[in-house]
Structure 1
């Protein structure tokens, strides 16, 4: 709980420094876990931390996980690594939402043999609101995780500062991952089956399980 100051705006353009408190991640956890669960914000936070703790436990014992548990663990990792990829892409010149959509599409096209996000979405038979990554099995998710992490590292390592080069890099990394799958005799990502349950469905089931009273 670090004491900090911040500037607030007053009338006629004036500003004044006021005391504030900056919370660490652990401080946020302590407040949530010791708060009144009857309050919606506290209840949601407690559920969030319970699910994240369980996902961490699963990721540490990966080889013994079920397929759905593997999907949850990899999807969680991919969410975090995509944040880093966004940051690396921004440093490379990918600035607007449209820029990033094009950049992300290039990675898919490399990995999926020319298929972009729209084509993958249609191939999986998804609704407009449904996310592609939430409807992948663990093998397909793992391929996309490798694509994301390697693109992130390459953009940073080579200090790429061009939007065009960033797009080319994402495509080439995706294509390299695809070639590796082919060399190993694996199934191409677009030919892998789409799971019956989405990640969101599995998370809802997990949440209900956590909310069940102990017997």
Structure 2
């Protein structure tokens, strides 16, 4: 496909895009025109195949193919409503994948929507990874604050480790830190929190934050008093999780935080490359 054709098609596809509530979409009747399908019934067959592919991929059809209608004027002057669809980028990608690749417009659309869809997938994956990374960083900061806080009240590093393990004992229904490491297959020299799901990390952080607050507020001193406070707070947060049917000790281990950090860096490079490609494509149009 010639460079001029690619630039022209790219511009046309962008011009036909709409925005609603921050979501980009295309109208099926207009995509039919872009892909040069002369008969709506033939294009409807392609849409039907795309819907099946959408469902098989585990996505809700209604999230990507929204039924709408549009009014058109007939030759007689009468107004008639005809069916249409609002299509997400992913829906357009599936339609292109089920179209005739021998058609120039289809071949372009397959690459165009594949790139855009993959970029969106990368962004969504990065956001999910960052949520867990940020939760872990917040827990580490809160635990560091607690360590400093209780050191001023007569508790050394060994005492802090015991307090934290007792907190885990309450959070994980009678399993202390060492128990949970064995249960999840985590090496003894690695932090338990590096392998916990975001919900559990957040729960531990909340309990630790409450302990910090109450230790200062009530001027608690000594390992026993602070341990009792930390057990109570972890037990309270565990009870809150239980109301939603969540038992922290039954949740499986997740990917090592260290590997997660490397994955985020890798994703950042991929996203940067796609952003650079998009910028270069725009520059070439000008």
Mapping of residues 17-166 of structure 1, within 5 Å: 66-95=127-156, 97-166=157-226
TM-score by length of 1: 0.63
Deviation at 1:145, TM superposition (A): 0.9
The Cα offsets for residues 19-52 of structure 1, whole Å up to 9 and x where unpaired, read as xxxxxxxxxxxxxxxxxxxxxxxxxxxxxxxxxx
For structure 2, the 5+ residue unaligned runs are 1-123, 277-286
Deviation at 1:75, TM superposition (A): 0.7
The Cα offsets for residues 55-89 of structure 1, whole Å up to 9 and x where unpaired, read as xxxxxxxx997432211111111111111111122
For structure 1, the 5+ residue unaligned runs are 1-62
CA RMSD, Structure 1 to Structure 2 (Å): 2.2
Report how many residues are paired. 150
2:113 alignment partner in structure 1: none
Deviation at 1:104, TM superposition (A): 0.9
TM-score by length of 2: 0.48
Q: For the Cα contact (< 8 Å) 2:126–2:267, is it kept in 1?
A: no
Q: For the Cα contact (< 8 Å) 1:92–1:166, is it kept in 2?
A: no
Deviation at 1:152, TM superposition (A): 0.8
Measured in 2, the distance between the counterparts of 1:168 and 1:193 equals: 28
- Structure 1 residue ranges (4+ consecutive) displaced by more than 6 angstroms after TM superposition: none
1:172 alignment partner in structure 2: 232
Measured in 1, the distance between the counterparts of 2:246 and 2:148 equals: 31
Measured in 2, the distance between the counterparts of 1:92 and 1:175 equals: 23
Query: Which gives a bigger RCO, structure 1 or 2 (Cα 8 Å, sep 6+)?
Result: 1
Structure of larger gyration radius: 2
